[in-house]
Structure 1
Amino acid sequence: MANAIYHNVLIEKNPHEVYDAVSQPKHLVNWWPLKCDGLPHIGETYNYNFTDEYNWFAKVSSCKAGEHIHFKMTISDTDWDPTTFGYDLEPNEKGTYLRFFHKDWPEQNDHFKHSAYCWAILLKGLKDYVEKDIVIPFEERS
């Protein structure tokens, strides 16, 4: 049975600003990986570099500017390799409702549970970055 992580976050900015923050490497490095490279186009590969040991890759499986971007992991660790994750964006009177998913986990082991917690913390960092231009140093991110 596949397992999934879901988080919903209201971000008080328009969908295009939120989309840029989850799809543009120059913004991603301000709330998630140490280094990043990639283009938001179907079939393109993103490189998420956290350290030399954690140098991961994902392919864009679906995207539409201002609406959503989804990724299929291609090179990561054993638990993450079969997974897909993404961000679906809905306009809201206060900004954008971000619906995050990370699914197809092989089991609900400790790594799955830790990742669920980390995604919650990271998405709070995303919200603070987009709304308040707060950048948490990479070393302090969970």
Structure 2
Amino acid sequence: MVDIIHRIGIAGSVNDVYKALTTDKGLSTWWTTDTVGAGKVGSIIAFRFGGGGPDFEVAELKKDSLVRWKHSGEMPEPWMGTEISFQLSPGDNQTYLLFVHSNWKTTSEFMAHCSTKWALFLMSLKDAIETGKGRPFPDDIHIDHDE
């Protein structure tokens, strides 16, 4: 199994970052504006990108320190069986976020695409917290002309 890993520092409180990862409103500010279902452990979050998109079950929540999701849908197929975690830790004047999209079966061009998009969406999260304006889908940065 292989993983996508990114780390960023966000000039904002751990609680603000946690809320951006655990509420529909927060998630809609940085990943996709069409987000429903965020809530307690066991909730299913539907993320839609122009109609289709992944579903994730909220697997674990540790207030202000950890958010973990398990892929629960059937698309995209390479994501089946994967998990996403966001580990938060306070730093001097910032919150560190360690992002891991784990349990990929193999590396691929699609995985490379997703890694680049995750980096961009994490920068969108950073902007949403620091400036009040992220770049969620459909206003995200496109990395190729097939999007």
Q: TM-score, normalised by structure 1?
A: 0.92
Cα deviation for residue 55 of structure 1 reads: 3.0
Farther-moved stretch of structure 1 (34-43 vs 123-132):
34-43
Within a 5 Å distance, the mapping from 1:92-131 to structure 2 comes to 92-131=91-130
Residues 61-116 of structure 1 show CA distances to partners (whole Å, capped at 9, x for unaligned) of 11112111100001121101111001110011112111100010111111100000
Residues 36-55 of structure 1 show CA distances to partners (whole Å, capped at 9, x for unaligned) of 11233211111111122x23
1:68 aligned onto 2:57: no
* Aligned-partner Cα distance in 2 for 1:135–1:51: 18
* Aligned-partner Cα distance in 2 for 1:39–1:119: 19
Cα deviation for residue 136 of structure 1 reads: 2.4
Q: TM-score, normalised by structure 2?
A: 0.89
**SS at 1:31's partner residue?**
coil
Higher strand share: 1
Q: Is the 8 A contact 2:8 2:97 kept in 1?
A: yes
Cα deviation for residue 139 of structure 1 reads: 2.5
Match of 2:37 in 1: 38
Taking only the aligned residue pairs, the percentage that are identical comes to 26
Q: Is the 8 A contact 1:34 1:51 kept in 2?
A: no
Match of 2:49 in 1: 50
Farther-moved stretch of structure 1 (59-68 vs 111-120):
59-68
Residues 104-131 of structure 1 show CA distances to partners (whole Å, capped at 9, x for unaligned) of 0111111100000100111011101101
* RMSD after superposition: 1.3
Q: Is the 8 A contact 1:7 1:99 kept in 2?
A: yes
Match of 2:16 in 1: 17
Cα deviation for residue 137 of structure 1 reads: 5.7
* Aligned-partner Cα distance in 1 for 2:9–2:3: 20
- Count residues with an aligned counterpart: 140
AA in 1 matched with 2:6: H
What runs of 5+ residues in structure 2 fail to find an aligned partner?
143-147
Match of 1:28 in 2: 27
* Aligned-partner Cα distance in 1 for 2:72–2:135: 27
What runs of 5+ residues in structure 1 fail to find an aligned partner?
none
* Aligned-partner Cα distance in 2 for 1:132–1:6: 24
